[in-house]
Structure 1
């Protein structure tokens, strides 16, 4: 089994931020003001751990797959030495930084991969997220002459294991609340332009995830909100998390629990948008804001990835 695990990517050093931002902007360098703004955000959070988390996810997913697949998929031609490679291999590539998706596909081709499953570490489908990752894979395959066949996991927003993993983390916050019955539970995801969300698929998947978690925990007051809207003049879907906090204060709420269901991993947009900006908004409004911990490379999330990847791989047969 061969798997390509994809994530957004993040720069390692301050000197890499401009090139990273230029790649996000499809080759258009950012203005001085935009670059300084992004550099300031990185300074405020310290450094994004996204690359390390994605690598850990890949390593643990490979281990989980090899623990459940037949150990000896093919006869050994000679003594393998101290380490026997299992039948599963997980590669990882990122959308906007090294190792780029193109680099990962190249490595797969050089290793003689003939079939593979591609999955993005994001549970919900949109034309601005999952579809763009797939386009990068297809472009890389085309440039290499289609050396192997790729099938994709498009979403897993309602997977029972994923819903339970989110519910577990929301449940951890219940005992911290003065009155859970009177608290508001907000589930957030990355905003996208309204023109890319006209079919409602993305918003519907986010809301379904939130509803399933709320049902599992018996939450009375819950809603969805959005974060990380781009710096473009076109309208993006909302309400923004800060706007929703303003509404919550006006509705009489005193405590709010925020869960970033659209972001399995901690990174800049979780640390800055929620832990810094949203917390400052809540403090100004007199709200107590709690954020649930992310899935990262925890075993329950890795099991979800293992299950959906295995099911997609089985379709090759």
Structure 2
């Protein structure tokens, strides 16, 4: 297959206060979530002036990718399209069609398998192509990268840097806490050829980062950003509950590393820099949050290498042992059952 473009696939976020509610309605469309509930989430965005950092982070990443491609002879024009806010993926594909693009490679800003983190991007592509209609470019999504050195390495550096902000005299009572977005238990336990991949890949990433950054410290993988009806079980423990438990066991300091994410978007800065930090302060815990890869040079180089795996027959680089598919099985990662919110 000959590819003639690259497209960055992301979640999207509001960029002014008037965007917030329409954006949130896009996020929960089809789920029957009332505006009253969305208004509670909207307050998180209003805390930052109604602006999510994710769109600017995507602009910065795309600019870094352009430079990386130019320096390494990857002659693909680059585009960017979102799931939930402008630039919407359908609009981007229409522009790509008008530019003559036929076959593009898509990079999603999520390292892991699972429905929301992987398969839903395939659904986004299909829906956008259907919206554009005849001549819509074909998009081949690049593989997951949870164990690639270009993803693991920046997280490892960030944990090492965060540890320097804590009191070294309390190293013996310091703990490393990895976080990722919680998902419904039924999604995490889905049977089939790729069942449980989200959890397993996160566990492998945590192990790889821990082994290099802080092998002498105990560590845990916990969850954040839970949503949905309270009666539906999601992966636990939540980061705030876990901090309570650690303090009760005599832990004095924590490094929190959001390995589930590629950039410091709103869920990271609200859930960890505000809520979890407030919990740690209340408990008297020393607290340092490790940054995410963002535009780290190794992460940007990884994206270029993923492209070259498809365009130049470059061999795959990986630090783990779990299988990774270029094209997922058709029955992988089914969507969660939708329940109407009451």
Same fold (TM over 0.5): yes
Partner Cα separation in structure 2 for residue 13 and residue 146 of structure 1: 33
- 265, 268, 279: which one pairs with 2:266? 268
Q: Distance in 1 between matches of 2:23 and 2:60?
A: 22
Tell me, yes or no, if structure 1 residue 44 matches structure 2 residue 47. yes
Q: Which moved more, 1:307-316 or 1:186-195?
A: 307-316
Aligned CA distance change for structure 1 residues 98 and 27 (closer, same or farther; 3 Å): farther
Counting matched residue pairs gives 300
Matching residue of 2:20: 17
Match of 1:84 in 2: none
State yes or no: 1:201 paired with 2:197: yes
- The answer for the alignment partner of 1:99 in structure 2 is 87
Counterpart among 58, 61, 66 of residue 62 in structure 2: 58
Aligned mates of 2:128, 2:47 — CA distance in 1: 35
The structure 2 residue matched to 1:240, chosen from 235, 238, 241, is 238
Gapped runs of 5+ residues in structure 1? 71-86
| Unaligned stretches of 5+ residues in structure 2 | 190-194, 315-342
Shift of 1:169: 0.8
The answer to whether the aligner puts 1:180 opposite 2:184 as a matched pair is no
Distance 2:201 2:210 in 1: 14
The 8 Å contact of residues 92 and 101 in structure 1, kept in 2 or not, is answered as: yes
Tell me if the contact between 2:155 and 2:291 (Cα under 8 Å) persists in the aligned partners.
no
Superimposed CA distance per residue, residues 111-134 of structure 1 (whole angstroms, 9 cap, x where no aligned partner): 111221111111112112221111
Contact 1:22 1:28 in 2 (8 A): no
For structure 1, which segment, 179-188 or 54-63, has the greater mean C-alpha deviation from structure 2 after superposition?
Answer: 179-188
1: CA distance, partners of 2:204 / 2:164: 25
Equivalent residue number for residue 73 of structure 1: none
Q: Deviations over 1:85-139 (max 9, x none)?
A: xx22111111100011111122211111122111111111211222111111122
- Mapped contact 2:183–2:235 kept (Cα < 8 A): yes
Equivalent residue, structure 1, for 2:331: none
1:284 to 282, 302, 312: 282
Report if the CA contact (8 A) 1:186-1:224 is conserved. Answer: yes
Residue deviations 1:211-256 (CA, integer Å, cap 9, x gap): 0011112242111111111132421112111111112112210100
Q: Verify: 1:109 aligned to 2:97, yes or no.
A: yes
**Matches of 1:29 and 1:101 in 2, distance apart?**
23
Matches of 2:304 and 2:248, distance apart in 1: 43
Distance of aligned partners of 1:155 and 1:219 in 2 relative to their CA distance in 1, 3 Å threshold: farther
TM-fit CA distance, 1:271? 1.1
1:189–1:260 Cα contact (<8 Å) kept: yes
Q: Is the 8 A contact 2:151 2:293 kept in 1?
A: no
Query: Partner residue of 1:69?
Result: 73
Matched residue, 2:327: none
- Conservation of the 8 A alpha-carbon contact between 1:102 and 1:140: yes
- Return the TM-score normalized by structure 1: 0.89
8 A Cα contact 2:185 2:235, kept in partner: yes
CA distance in 2, matches of 1:305, 1:140: 23
Out of 109, 116, 119, the position equivalent to 1:131 is: 119
8 Å Cα contact 1:214/1:222 also seen in 2: yes
Q: Secondary structure at the match of 1:303?
A: helix
Q: Does structure 2 retain, via aligned residues, the 8 Å contact 1:48–1:266?
A: no
Q: Is the 8 A contact 1:174 1:180 kept in 2?
A: no
Confirm or deny: 8 A CA contact 1:4 1:91 kept in the other structure.
yes
2:247 corresponds to 1:249: yes
